[in-house]
Structure 1
Amino acid sequence: MTQFEMPAVDAVAGAAREILDTIKSDREFPAFRAASLEYSEDWQCFTGFPVVERWNLEADSAPLFEEGLRALALKAAVWGATGDDQAAEIPIAVPVDEMTHAMLAQSQLLARIAARSGVSIIHQTDQEHTDYRAGGYTHDCYRAAWGEPPARYWLDHEEVVRRRDVLAGLYQSIGMGRSGREHGITFAPAAA
């Protein structure tokens, strides 16, 4: 992140709090929240949510939704201060980033909310940074806005890599190669 002049932590935190409050007060926010959480039937990521210890969709989705909103608010605050898409792609923890994908899938709702709120929602996969670390810029901004982030979801990059290696070994043991990106399973025809 040294290639950008990053805005002051306190300024980002204050703007992020305002952005989050504005989004949550929008008339379509309840529909957006429900749609994002309903997305669960399509949550088949093998390396995002499963890095959360004892991951449980029903128990973790609502708190992780809040973390995803906070991440998007932080990114929008940085963009608001810099006008720079790359600077706004601050490091986000992998499970939190995965939740933002479920939220971004509700594109029409989110676009209308963002337009009414005057907020630019920033996310571009080829520019995203999932190398979040406690003590870094994102962590400092989050703490200034809302206090300490929940360590359950805001995992340091090195821990995510370690957990992904554990998962990859487990997946491989059941025939799932490349952490679920391929397999050699042959499906027999259904019995008539």
Structure 2
Amino acid sequence: MSAKSLPTADKVAERAREIHVAVHADEEFPAFVAASLKYDEDWTCYSGTPVISKYNQETDAAPLFAEGLRALCLKAAVFEMTGDENTAEIPIAVPVDEMTHAMIAQPQLLARITARVGVQIIHQTNQEHTDWRTDDYTHQVYRAAWGEPPARYWIDHEEVTRRLSILREKYAAAGFLNMGQAHVIEFGEMVPA
């Protein structure tokens, strides 16, 4: 985390709820949801949503979107109170973080919505923290804002690490190496157009 001190969980929770309500009420929110959920095959990642047991994009995308939005609202509230981007990059669970990538891939919609709401959405991959843990600061703030986060999506860092080692073995057996960043599959001759 940053050297800046974190605001109290209650203050962040209150502001995050306000941001969440305002984003939901925005006229372009339905388009933002539709665009984010349409980002389906493109946002497949070997180490994000696959850590969810028996993940199914059809049934998990909408509730995961809800969690991604909550995470972005928490980060926006922390940024608003600290003015520090690094401090605002509070730990987020890996699958939730992956959904935020689908959401921020809608830059025009998100920029217009957040401008009307009057907040900044904070996310920078090289500063993000996907080491969310039960009872950490993010968990405390989330709990104060919305109650207990759904365990299906908010998976503790150590459990994510365990599941990733299982996935790594399965991917390697199928010819996918380095968590999908390399493979040994040969496609043969190109079919003429």
TM-score per shorter chain, which class? Answer: over 0.9
Contact residue 2 and residue 87 of structure 2 kept, 8 A: no
1:49-88 maps to which residues of 2 (within 5 A)? 49-88=49-88
CA shift, 1:44, in A, is: 2.2
SS in 1 for 2:7: coil
Tell me whether 1:135 sits opposite 2:135 in the alignment: yes
Aligned length: 192
The answer (yes or no) to whether the contact 2:13–2:142 under 8 Å persists in 1 is: yes
Q: Does 1:35 align with 2:25?
A: no
1:59-118 deviations in Å (ceiling 9; x for gaps): 100000000000000000000110110110000000000000000000000000000100
1:66-145 paired onto structure 2 within 5 Å: 66-145=66-145
Which residues of structure 2 form unaligned runs of 5+? none
Offset at 1:145?
Answer: 0.2
Alpha carbon RMSD of aligned pairs, Å?
1.1
AA matched with 1:29: F
What's the offset of the Cα at 1:188?
A: 1.9
TM-score normalised by length of structure 1: 0.97
Instruction: Tell me, yes or no, if the aligned pair for 2:4 and 2:82 is still in contact at 8 Å.
Output: no
> How far apart are 1:2 and its partner, in Å?
6.7
1:21 has 2:42 as partner: no
2:169 & 2:184 partners in 1: Cα distance?
Answer: 16
Verify: 1:48 aligned to 2:44, yes or no: no
Query: If the length of structure 2 is used for normalisation, what is the TM-score?
Result: 0.97
After superposition, residues 140-159 of structure 1 pair within 5 angstroms as 140-159=140-159
Q: Please say if residues 132 and 156 of structure 2, whose CA atoms lie closer than 8 Å, have aligned partners that are also in contact.
A: yes
Structure 1: distance between partners of 2:122 and 2:79: 8
Give the ranges of 4+ consecutive aligned residues of structure 1 lying more than 6 Å apart after TM superposition: none
For 1:189, the equivalent position in structure 2 comes to: 189
How many angstroms apart in 2 are the aligned matches of 1:182 and 1:99? Answer: 23
Separation in structure 2 between the aligned mates of residue 76 and residue 155 of structure 1, nearest angstrom: 22
Question: In structure 2, what is the equivalent of residue 4 of structure 1?
Answer: 4
Name the SS of the counterpart of 1:119 in structure 2: coil
Query: 1:179 Cα shift?
Result: 1.3
Give aligned-pair identity as a percent. Answer: 61
